Amino acid sequence: AQKITQTQPGMFVQEKEAVTLDCTYDTSDPSYGLFWYKQPSSGEMIFLIYQGSYDQQNATEGRYSLNFQKARKSANLVISASQLGDSAMYFCAISGSGTGANSKLTFGKGITLSVRP
Partner 1 sequence: DTEVTQTPKHLVMGMTNKKSLKCEQHMGHRAMYWYKQKAKKPPELMFVYSYEKLSINESVPSRFSPECPNSSLLNLHLHALQPEDSALYLCASSPAPPQLTDTQYFGPGTRLTVL
Interface contacts to partner 1, rule CB under 8 A:
31-33, 35, 37, 42-47, 50, 52-53, 89, 91, 95-97, 100, 102-105, 107-110
Closer to partner 1 at the Cβ: 33 or 67?
33
Closer to partner 1 at the Cβ: 104 or 116?
104
Q: Minimum Å distance from CB 50 to partner 1?
A: 6
Closer to partner 1 at the Cβ: 43 or 117?
43
Q: Minimum Å distance from CB 46 to partner 1?
A: 7
Closer to partner 1 at the Cβ: 74 or 112?
112
Q: Minimum Å distance from CB 45 to partner 1?
A: 4
Q: Do residues 106 and 96 touch, judged by C-beta distance below 8 A?
A: yes
Q: Minimum Å distance from CB 5 to partner 1?
A: 12
Q: Which residues of 52-88 are buried (b: 16+ CB within 10 A; e: fewer)?
A: ebeeeeebeeeebbbebeeeebbbbbbbeebeeebbb
CA distance 11 to 74: 18
From residue 78, alpha-carbon distances to 21, 102, 103 in Å are: 6, 26, 26
Nearest to 46 by CA among 54, 56, 37: 37
